[in-house]
Amino acid sequence: MAISLNAGDPGHVWDPFAGRKIWPPKKIRVLHAASFKDDPTRIFRAARFAGRFNSELEWRTRTWLSECVAQDIPSRLSGARLREELIPLLMEHDPRPAFRLLGQWSCLTYLVPNLKWEKSHETLFGALIKPGVKGDALTLRLLALVHAIPFSKAVGSLGHLMFPQNKIEQIERVLTLLTHLREGTLSASDAASQRKSLTPEVKVFIEKALHVRNGSLKKGPAEQWSRFQYSTPCLSGRDIRDLGYKPGPLFTKIFDSLRRARWEGKLRTREEEIRYLMQSFPLNGC
C-alpha cells in the first residue's frame, strides 16, 4: 500500500491487493506462490506478525511456506540476515507465539541448530516479559532461547549469526556457569572468574533456568548455587584500606583468599572476615 503525496490527489491510498479490507489481519498471506522462495526471511516475519496479531496463515500461504521448507531454501540465508530476523522475534512483547509457530513449521533450526521449543522456554520467556524486568533484554532473551542447548553449540550458533564478539563472550560465560551448576562441577576458581560478569538480572535468570529444566534443583547444584551467591566477601576495598592495608596487587590476593574461604564455608560474617584477614595477611608483613 502507498499514500499519494502528489498535489493532484494528496492522501489517495494505492491498495492494489486490497490489504485494507483485511485489517486488522485475520489471515497472514503473501502475494504470490514464489514469495517465500524469493525471500525466505518472509517466513520469520510471517511468524512474527501471526504471533503478534493472533492470526493464522491463509491456506495457500501455508502451502507455499511448506514447499519452501521442504526444499530447504531457508538454509541459503546468511547468518547476518538470520540475525536481523531473530532480533525482532526476540524483542516482541511476547515472543512465544511466534516461536511456537516456527517450531510447528520446522523452521527453528534455521535460526539456531538443535533448537527445539520446550516447556522451559515457555516458562523463561513468560518470566522475562513480566513488567519490571530490568537489564539487557536482548541478552536475557538470547539466554532464554539457547539455555537448553549444549553451550558450545549455542556459542557457535551465535557466531554464525554474527553477533558482536562481546555479546557472544558474555553469553558463553553465563552458559558455562549454568552448565557447571547443572553438572555439580563448579569450583571456587570457576566461581571467582565468573562473578564479575554477572548482573543481578542474569543471576535471577540462572536460578530460574536451573529450576525449569528439572522441576526442582538437585542437592549438588542447589548447594553450589547457594555457595556461589554467598561467597562474595562482606568487606569492600574501602574497608580493607581502612584496616590499614595499602591498595595494590595485595588487594587482589586478599579478595581471592576471602572468596575462597567463603566458598569453602569457613567465613560467614563480616567479623569472621576481619579476623581471617588479620591472621592471613598480618599488617607487619605487608
Please indicate, yes or no, if residue 176 is contained in any of the structural domains: yes
Please indicate, yes or no, if residue 3 is contained in any of the structural domains: no
pLDDT at 223: 67
Same domain for 94 and 139: no
Same domain for 242 and 225: no
Same domain for 150 and 100: no
Query: Looking up cell 574497608, which residue turns up?
Result: 239
Same domain for 122 and 182: yes
Boundary (domain end) residue, out of 91, 111, 131: 111
Please indicate, yes or no, if residue 123 is contained in any of the structural domains: yes
Q: Nine-digit cell at 181?
A: 551448576
Cα–Cα distance measured from residue 178 to residue 91, given in angstroms and rounded to the nearest whole number:
23
Same domain for 68 and 32: yes
Please indicate, yes or no, if residue 4 is contained in any of the structural domains: no
- Write the single-letter amino acid at 142: L
Same domain for 195 and 272: no
Query: Looking up cell 531454501, which residue turns up?
Result: 73
Same domain for 281 and 209: no
Q: Which of 58-72, 149-163, 196-210, 239-253 has the highest mean pLDDT?
A: 58-72
Please indicate, yes or no, if residue 252 is contained in any of the structural domains: yes
Give the count of domains, the chain: 3
pLDDT tens for residues 57-72? 999 999 999 999 999 9
Same domain for 133 and 199: yes
Same domain for 89 and 174: no
Q: Which residues of 198-209 are buried (b: 16+ CB within 10 A; e: fewer)?
A: beebbbbbbebb
**Which one is predicted more confidently, 72 or 207?**
72
Give yes or no for a contact between 254 and 240, defined as CB atoms under 8 angstroms apart: yes
Give yes or no for a contact between 111 and 144, defined as CB atoms under 8 angstroms apart: no
Boundary (domain end) residue, out of 229, 253, 277: 229
Q: Nine-digit cell at 202?
A: 542474569
Boundary (domain end) residue, out of 62, 91, 111: 111
pLDDT at 220: 59
Which residues make Cβ contacts (< 8 Å) with residue 256, sequence separation at least 6? 192
Q: Nine-digit cell at 230?
A: 554467598
- What is the DSSP-derived secondary structure letter of residue 184? T
Same domain for 254 and 188: no
pLDDT tens for residues 216-250? 445 556 666 666 766 788 899 999 999 999 888 89
Please indicate, yes or no, if residue 265 is contained in any of the structural domains: yes
What phi, psi does 14 have (nearest 5°)? -95, 115
Mean pLDDT (whole number) for 256-282: 87
Please indicate, yes or no, if residue 13 is contained in any of the structural domains: no
Sort strands 27-28 and 13-14 into parallel, antiparallel or unpaired: unpaired
* Angstrom distances, CA of residue 139 to CA of 87, 96, 136, 166: 10, 16, 6, 11
Mean model confidence pLDDT for the chain? 87
Cα–Cα distance measured from residue 50 to residue 56, given in angstroms and rounded to the nearest whole number:
6
Please indicate, yes or no, if residue 16 is contained in any of the structural domains: no
**Which one is predicted more confidently, 111 or 268?**
111
Nearest CA to 276 among 284, 260, 59? 260
The pTM is what?
Answer: 0.77
What phi, psi does 245 have (nearest 5°)? -90, 140
Same domain for 246 and 209: no
Give yes or no for a contact between 65 and 43, defined as CB atoms under 8 angstroms apart: yes
Q: What is the CATH number of the domain that holds 74?
A: 1.10.3090.10
Mean pLDDT (whole number) for 10-19: 82
Mean pLDDT (whole number) for 67-85: 97
| Range of the structural domain that residue 248 is part of | 237-285
Same domain for 153 and 204: yes
